[in-house]
Structures are given as C-alpha cells and as structure tokens.
Structure 1
C-alpha cells in the first residue's frame, strides 16, 4: 500500500458532508426507496458471495446483500467460506458455484496471478472515489485491523500481551494462544515479535519468520479456521489470547462481552471483492460490487463493524465513534500487509505453512 493511499485512509478527504452521504440513496437508518428493479442481464438463480461468518455475515447481509436484492430483484446467497483452493477448483472444472469472492489481499492477489478473476467492468464499477482502487480484476472494499484479544475478567491490565512481542512471550504472559491457519498475518506477526520494525517487513525474511513461528507453536492450542471463533473461543475460556479483529471484538463488546482487543499494535490489510472467472452471472456480480462501493453503503458498514471505508466519501461520512475503532495508519507500531509481495508468494508459502502445521 502506497504512502498516498495510507494518507487517504488516515483521515477525511473530499468535501462531501456526512449528512449528505448518509441521506443519499439507501442511507444509514433510512428505509430504502421503492426498488428500481434492474432490467439488465438477470441472475435468475441469484448470486452466491463468499463470506466470513458471524457478525461479519450479519453485516454483509444487512448492509449489502438484502438492500441489493431489494433494489435489483436478484437474490444473494452468502457462503461462509473464502477458500482460494476451492475457488480455483471450481474455476478449473468449469463448475463455478461462487460468483463473488470476498477475501483478504494475499488470497485475492494470488488468485489474480493465477488468472482466477474476471476483469472489472469499468462501465459498471465506478472506482473514482476509492482510496485504493484495486487492480484490473479486483476491487478494494475496506481496510481491517487485527490484533490481540483477551477477556478482561480473566486478564486485568498488565496480565495480557498488548503487542506481538508480548504474544510470543509465554513466560511473561502464560496461557494458551489461538492463531489463524493461513500464512499471511502469521509471518508478519512473527517477524515483528522477533524485532523487525513494521515498516521494514518486506520483503519478508521467510526463514526467520518460520523459525519464530516454531517458538510459539507449542503455546497455540487452536488454529482457528472460522473467524467467529477468534471471539467465541476466548469468551468461552477455551483459549486465553487470540489473534482477532476489531470488527469482531467491538460488536461483541456492544453485546455485553467482557472481551477487549489491543489497539497498541495491529496488522492492517485491505479486503477485496473479485468475480470468479467463468461465472454465468458476471454482469450481476459486477452490479453487486458497484453497490457495495456506494458511499452510503460503505459508511453504513463502518458504523456496524468498524472497518475503514475504501470510499473516501464513505469515510468522511463515518461517525467519530466509528472512527475511534478504525485502524490507525499513523501509528508506527502498526503494519500494513503488502499485497503485491503476497501475490508472488502466497500459494507456495501457504502450502509450506500447511505442511508446517502438521509437523
């Protein structure tokens, strides 16, 4: 991510007022107008969009999927799976079941390098308002932040890690850990824990990172496949410290949970949307992406799940309360995943990481 884009994510831009965006079209808290049914090439069987489950799924359904269906008449089915290998298998077999792939930069960019996505239809998808417009075959949707989560009832101040070095320090902070089973994010955390400055991460020193992963592996009780479990396993006391996301912990807090997440050090990355190569619903899928990029939808998603909108007008429209929990791009302790580096390295390193997990 360039310094220019980082700057755009760090504050408001443009001259559009918050009220004007919130009230435009299908605004936040405003009932959608009578649907203007789209009469273009229809996806009569509906669209299938990958998702991440839990509160994220609820947000996608409420802010994007259902309003899109109301406006266009096209049903949207959400699938709690963003497995790049499964997506590739569908495309290679010519039996595409997932029309829109919603995933993190390393997976999207690896898929792009493998030719898995349809080219973005610029006549449908307007990227002029985006801080990070994406590539020829993908579109950035929002910035998310991940960090260390714990239960404040079990671990008061001083008894839990607040950065990745502390997460690796099982002597200072004894307890079980929960990490994700994907190579991206883990290698970055490992290198930061080993003393690499966040702004000096790339190109990743892969051997050094795996050696550091060897150190924490005995303390990792669960390699968490389903994102909602980064919250529930801690809340249930099954693990002590988890790598989770602001967008998961903050909604849990609002529901009364005693969980917390450190904002002192986070990993930050863009989430993307891409349309599967060979889908029979290409035009409808492009319409869905365009809908998700509308400033009012972007701002509404930020209010619900505390992501940083990729739409600059959507970012400006976000409330101060939502901004308080968005990733801080001015904090030198925070790191940003380099999607371009992962485009060249994700597949091979994910295969190596999967084998490492079995050792």
Structure 2
C-alpha cells in the first residue's frame, strides 16, 4: 500500500533527520518508554517539553527513534517484535492502522480525553499538536495588505503574478485549497470533488512549484522565488522571527493535526498510555511546547500560558480560529489517499 510509505509530516523536522534514525531499543523493562516522532529539532522540542518532565517525575527511561515510518510499524506488528511505543503519525494512517489491527485501542479509562476536542480523538489515537495550512507570502513581493487573502486570490495569477508553491503530497491540502478557490463552500468540501480540484489546479499548473520539506518551503518563499506558497504556519512564523520577509495569511486556513498511536503488541502499552494522559491534561507542558515550536496545543487551557507573540500565530488563537475554512477530514483521506496519490503523481509527471 502506498499509504504505508514514509510520509514527512507537515510540522515535523524530517528534513533535519538526514543522519538516520537512532538505534531502536527493545522495551525490556517496565520503566522504559520508546517514543518515535519525525526527528530533527521538532522532536527535540517535543521530548523536552512533553516527555521528559513526566519521565523525570515517574523515573522512566526514555528511548527515542526517528523518523516515524509506517512500513516499519506494520513490519514490527506482523513480526511480533514491537520496539516502538508512542509513535507520532498522520491521522489518516492512524485510522488505517486501527482498522487493520496495527495500533492498540486507547483505554479511555486510563487516558482522559475530556478536555480534548473529540474530532481529534480516534479509537486508537490521541492528538499531540495542531497546525494550519496557510497562505504564506513574501512580504517584499506582496507587502502586507497587498497580498492574497483568499484561495481564490492565491489562484489569480493575473492580479498576483508569480509562482505558487504546494507540498508534493496528496494530504497537503492542495485539493481543499483548489476547491475553495473554485467556489466550493467550506462546509461542503468533503467528500472532495477531485475532478473539479484537478481542473482548478490545471488553470495554474505552469506556475506551480512543488516542495518536499519544510526547509525547502521556507527557502522558496523567503527568497521570493515562489512568493506565494501553501505553508505550515509554524515554519513561516519561525522564519519571520529569524528576520526572513515572510508572513502567514490566516483567512481560509485549513486546520490539521498529528496523532499518537501505540503499535499493537508494544510491551509497555500501559506506560505509554499513562504518558498520553499526563501530557493531554498538562496545559503548562503543552504551552511550553507551543512557545518553542509555534504549533498549537490540543488542550485549550494551555492558551493562557502561551506568550502573546506566539499565541497570535497559532490556529487556536480566537482571531485566527474565526477565519478557519475547515478541519482536514482524515477519515476521508484514509479511504482515498492511494488512488488520489497515484493520480497526482501521474498529473505531475505529465508536465
């Protein structure tokens, strides 16, 4: 299945993990927990804020591996040699893994999700962060106030000349953006009209540049080579803080999120779920991660502990949430990822 191939998450640091993954270790002791995320600086920030304070309190040894790899999860489960504990994945894979028995059902008597928006919780998965697909723009090419403020304007290459950037990935929200640009109402996006979306993408195909990593995304828009790009909000905020001429437009953004699963057969499943319960119900820890990463907490109570200059750049800030077009429907994508990906690859190859 194509969906089992490694996928670089939108907010992860996969482009920083070129040195390879850490050597995985079996969880031989009841006080070991292996966490697996996307690698790079984001994994460091996540572990520092959301894992280590709990581990130190509970005297738990934390082992790490990276990056998350869907084929490896399946292989570990099917060989009954599971060494990965809590693994960060995309929600469409979490749903597929649950249906196929590769992920352990969450014991909600152990993991309290009462403070979490139920749309982000699945039978086998809980959310770890939220982020947004935004319209990002180069502020030298399009000064703030003169930039596109809707997907319709993003697709208008006459009024706003220049190349457009999209993530080279079916669940990267390009189809949702194309349909919004073509006049589909936000509450009528799903199920996606893929034929209509491709027709809209055809209208600007010659101006589309695809990127593969967060680093490449930032380089393209900050250099002005691609002055308009569909972006991950945290990457753009980080670049702006570093002095790059970039900014997020929050109107019509698409809300996304990552989840955690526990591969079926992991020896220390109960310990992994105890950690999940801790971070989901620890607003301060989630705020610490948000302040470091500019990705949003999943517990709304964390917002009061987030620095004001960071909070205004999060999709959970009230001003930004009011401009949201839709939440990504990953149950739809768990069913349609493979055929749409195949068609997308053919479309890109056709030139």
Contact 1:53 1:227 in 2 (8 A): no
Alpha-carbon deviation of 1:155? 3.3
Question: SS at 1:335's partner residue?
Answer: strand
The answer to whether the 8 A contact 1:52-1:227 is kept is no
Match of residue 336 from structure 2:
345
Residues of 2 paired with 1:233 and 1:253: CA distance?
14
Name structure 2 gaps, 5 residues minimum: 1-28
TM-aligned CA distance change 1:325 to 1:345, over 3 Å: same
2:321 is aligned to 329
Contact preservation (8 Å) 1:69, 1:76: no
Q: Point out which structure has higher relative CO (alpha carbons under 8 A, 6+ apart).
A: 1
Task: Report the CA distance shift for 1:151/1:267 in structure 2 as closer, same or farther (over 3 A).
Answer: same
| Cα shift at 1:240 | 2.8
SS of 2:124's partner is coil
Point out the more displaced range, 245-254 or 346-355. 346-355
Distance 1:211 1:63 in 2: 44
Which shifted more, 127-136 or 178-187? 127-136
Would you say the 8 A contact 2:262–2:269 is kept in 1?
Answer: yes
Matches within 5 A, 1:84-103: 84-85=70-71, 87-94=73-80, 96=82, 98-103=84-89
- Alpha-carbon distance between aligned partners in 2 of 1:346 and 1:165, rounded to the nearest angstrom: 25
TM-score by length of 2: 0.77
Does the 8 Å contact 2:111/2:274 carry over to 1?
A: yes
2:133 match: 146
For residue 143 of structure 1, give the secondary structure of its aligned residue in structure 2.
strand
Residue number in structure 2 paired with 1:70: 56
Q: Does 1:188 align with 2:176?
A: yes
Q: CA deviation at 1:188?
A: 0.6
After superposition, where does 1:188-337 map in structure 2 within 5 Å? 188-224=176-212, 226-293=213-280, 294-327=282-315, 328-331=320-323, 334-337=325-328
Residue number in structure 2 paired with 1:131: 117
Using the TM superposition, give the Cα deviation of residue 238 of structure 1 relative to its aligned residue in structure 2, in angstroms: 4.7
2:34 paired with 1:42: no
Distance 1:353 1:91, change over 3 A: farther
Q: Using the alignment, how far apart are the partners of 1:241 and 1:96 within structure 2?
A: 43
How far apart are 1:118 and its partner, in Å? 1.0
Count of residues in Structure 1 that have an aligned counterpart in Structure 2: 315
- Against the structure 1 CA distance between its residues 52 and 187, is the aligned structure 2 distance closer, same or farther, given a 3 Å change threshold? farther
User: Against the structure 1 CA distance between its residues 85 and 299, is the aligned structure 2 distance closer, same or farther, given a 3 Å change threshold?
Assistant: same
Cα distance change, pair 222–343 in 1 and its aligned pair in 2 (3 A): closer
Secondary structure class of the residue paired with 1:266: strand
C-alpha distance in 2 between matches for 1:213 and 1:278: 43
Deviation at 1:196, TM superposition (A): 0.8
How far did 1:171 drift? 2.7
Do the aligned partners of residues 88 and 201 (structure 1) sit closer, same or farther apart at CA in structure 2, a change above 3 Å counting? same
Partner Cα separation in structure 2 for residue 97 and residue 216 of structure 1: 46
- After superposition, what is the alpha-carbon deviation per residue over 1:32-75, rounded to whole angstroms, capped at 9, x for unaligned? xxxxxxxx8132xx514122645x33431331244344333322
- 1:93 Cα deviation from its structure 2 partner: 4.8
Per-residue deviation at 1:138? 0.5
Kindly report which structure 2 residues correspond to 1:26-37, keeping only aligned pairs within 5 A, or say none: none
1:326 Cα deviation (Å)? 2.3
List alignment gaps of at least 5 residues for structure 1: 1-39
Could you say which residue in structure 1 is the equivalent of 2:13? none
2:321 aligns to what SS in structure 1?
coil
- Any conservation in 2 of the 1:119–1:138 contact (CA below 8 Å)? yes
Per-residue deviation at 1:314?
Answer: 2.1
User: Conserved in 1, the CA contact under 8 Å of 2:168 and 2:210?
Assistant: no
CA shift, 1:98, in A, is: 4.1
